[in-house]
Amino acid sequence: MLDEAKRRRKAAKIIAVLAHFLGREARDGGGAVLDGLTVADIGCSAGFIADELALAGAKRAFGVDIDVPGLRKAAERFGERVDFVCADGTALPFRDGSMDVLVFNHIYEHVVDPDAVVREMHRVLADDGVLYLGLGNRLGVMEPHYKLPFLSYLPPSLADRYVRASGRADHYYERFRTRGGLRRMLAGFHVWDYSLPVLASPQRFAGAELFPGAVGRAAQATLARSPRAALRGLLPVVPTYLWVATKAPRGPLGSALPQPPQRVATR
């Protein structure tokens, strides 16, 4: 979370996906992607992504977290562009329908009640607003925090023993969900999946880190040969899902892609 270069690369991916969904891709010299929009990064940590959202032209940008020392440092660096707020995700200090864009990137597995956070984001999101979600998959083979294979597959007691045996932690606190569990968590939204579009067009979406290494190269080759087969075979085990959610039914407005976004059935 404190690797600034990596966090800013993730922000570039987020902004590129938002630009495509909102139909704001061709903006060179014609305004920034988030011009005129009120945005918030929920679980902003050190504030790097929130700062990039502000730099992308947001009318007003917020960073929300419960980490008071982290928020203080973020405000010292980026407070001229971003309003940092100490708040629990289950009680966001925003009016109903006041946010045009929300970002919830790799946070749900760390919070006690992610369903409550999702309900609260639904409350504050505008009727025509957009929620970007970076969602870790329980069935991703390599657990992203401890780099231990199959760790997230295990029940809590066995996961605790595994991380202790590895010498990397005393307990395993993260709680990931499968694709089905994530669909149920987002049942109040209409959702589009950008995971495979980003994987298939990493340069366009600044997404080279989504599925790195030899596995990522093999996945990209599979997409190029047979995208329909890739959809069936890759999605259950992709380590990260990139979803865009809205309150009202609407679709991506961006240009055609080699691998287009797919609608996610949440109801």
Query: Which range (29-38, 60-69, 216-225, 247-256) has the least confidence?
Result: 216-225
- Percentage above 90 pLDDT, the chain: 77
Position 58 scores a pLDDT of: 96
Give the H/E segment covering residue 231: helix 227-234
- Percentage above 70 pLDDT, the chain: 87
Q: How confident is the model at residue 142 (pLDDT cuts 50, 70, 90)?
A: very high
Q: Which residue from 120, 254, 141 is spatially nearest to 192, judged by alpha carbons?
A: 254
Position 227 scores a pLDDT of: 56
Q: What DSSP string runs through 165-193?
A: HHTS-S------B-HHHHHHHTTTSEEEE
Cβ neighbours of residue 144 closer than 8 Å, sequence gap 6 or more: 106, 136, 239, 240
Tell me if 142 sits within 8 A of 237, measured CB to CB: no
pTM of the shown model: 0.91
Average pLDDT over residues 72-89: 96
Amino acid at 96: D
Position 172 scores a pLDDT of: 97
* N-term to C-term CA, the chain: 33
Q: Would you state the CATH architecture of domain 4-138+176-264?
A: 3-Layer(aba) Sandwich (3.40)
Q: How confident is the model at residue 263 (pLDDT cuts 50, 70, 90)?
A: very high
Bridge partners, residue 242, by sequence: 134
Q: Which two three-digit tokens encode residue 104? A: 């919830």
Position 201 scores a pLDDT of: 87
Average pLDDT over residues 52-80: 96
Cβ neighbours of residue 267 closer than 8 Å, sequence gap 6 or more: 187
pLDDT tens digit sequence for 230-244: 555 777 888 999 999
Tell me if 95 sits within 8 A of 205, measured CB to CB: no
Q: Distance between CA atoms of 230 and 216, rounded to whole angstroms? A: 12
Position 105 scores a pLDDT of: 96
Position 211 scores a pLDDT of: 56
In the predicted model, is pLDDT for residue 26 greater than 70?
Answer: no
Q: Which residue from 122, 154, 126 is spatially nearest to 138, judged by alpha carbons?
A: 154
Mean pLDDT score of the chain, rounded to an integer?
Answer: 90
Amino acid at 110: H
DSSP E strands, the chain: 38-42, 60-65, 82-86, 99-105, 125-136, 190-193, 240-246, 262-264
Amino acid at 60: R
Position 228 scores a pLDDT of: 56
Q: How far is CA 214 from CA 25, 82, 209, 211, 226, in A?
A: 30, 38, 12, 9, 18
3-state secondary structure of 195: helix
In the predicted model, is pLDDT for residue 152 greater than 60?
Answer: yes
Average pLDDT over residues 131-145: 95
pLDDT tens digit sequence for 27-43: 554 568 999 999 999 99
Q: How confident is the model at residue 3 (pLDDT cuts 50, 70, 90)?
A: confident
Q: Distance between CA atoms of 185 and 180, rounded to whole angstroms? A: 9
Position 223 scores a pLDDT of: 60
- The residue extents of the domains of the chain are 4-138+176-264, 140-175
